[in-house]
Amino acid sequence: MLTDPWADFDEHERVVVARDPESGVAMVIALHSTVLGPALGGTRMNAYADQDVPRAAAYSDALRLARAMTLKNSLAGLDHGGGKAVIVTDPAQGTPDLLRAYGRLVSTLDGAYVTAGDVGVSVEDLDVISETCRWTTGRSPEKGGLGDSAILTAVGVLAGMRATVEVAMGAGSFDGLTVGIVGLGKVGGRLAQHLTQAGAVVVGYDPSPQAREHTLDTCPGALLLGSLDEILAAELDVLSPNALGGLITADLAATTSARVICGAANNQLASPDVADLLPGRGITYAPDFMVNCGGVIQISQEYTQGTFEQARVQAEAVYDTTRRVLERARSQGVTPVAAAEAEALDRIRARGAEPGAVV
């Protein structure tokens, strides 16, 4: 249960809380910063069924994720601030009428927030949202978009992982490395394919039968384990979280065999202090907001009428950003999270903003 609804408020510029009058579904939109440009970030649909106060959980999620988007967009070199939205319902209840109502809510912000997809919101859903909101990205090509942003999210994570194993392990390739992928959905499944093709031994887990079946079809050599505990206890070189956040706890930091943690999931660390525990165990963590930016790069290109190939080039540049940040962390004696945040804030400061206006 969340006892302090303000705990994750961190100088956010605006937070909108609303309810669709027809369905009764609550919605939260958090704008963390617009210093670099319109806030850009996805919308997730989640019922928060495991929370005592679902709306409070959604509010906290939106705040934390919006702040992360400010850092992610800055680090990716995009002219966008950070925003995030949550529709508090099960994705199965995401009717066209509800999605159109959400589009109307986003439109009231008059371009201060540009929305896209996230957990529980598909390309098809975004096409519907775009019927009532022109500030919608991640649409299908038929609706003028660049399609599924998960494709380039996986490309960016792969590039960041390649840089991280080079810096942390001195490995010039993935040949023979065992990579444990938690979450084999749209991003994790594609990442498994890329890693298999690059010579890695892929070990995976996903509770979805469909995701497991698809992975076995596309990655015949992958080993799928039966539980989350089993994959977290496995002998791994790299652990790649690609589902919901909070996987990397203090306990896991103390027990995992992985020397690198790099994945697409947002907010992978269960608490900020976990970042300080990892170096002591010889674990290099590639901050999620540094490597999972391929999707937001793609939707940024869509927003400015760019091309998929332009976005791919930018996503592959995550390799250079990761090497630069990890080398900064090493030379300054700080964690990769601190180094990545500092680099993101350097760019925001260059626009004349005081740090307190952003974080």
Residues noted as catalytic: 84
Q: Which residues contact 190 (CB under 8 A, 6 or more apart)?
A: 150, 151, 154
Q: Look up tokens 């090497």; give the residue.
A: 323
Residue 266, sorted as left (phi over 0), alpha (psi -120 to 50) or beta, turns out to be beta
CB hemisphere CA count around 308 (13 angstroms): 15
Instruction: Tell me how far CA of residue 249 lies from CA of 77, 181, 189, in angstroms.
Output: 30, 17, 24
Beta strands in the chain (DSSP E): 14-19, 26-33, 39-45, 81-88, 113-117, 178-182, 201-205, 223-224, 238-241, 260-261, 284-285
The residues with which 156 forms a beta bridge, in sequence order, are none
Please list the residues that pair with 81 across neighbouring strands: 39
Q: Of 131, 36, 106, which Cα lies nearest the Cα of 74?
A: 36
Position 50, amino acid: D
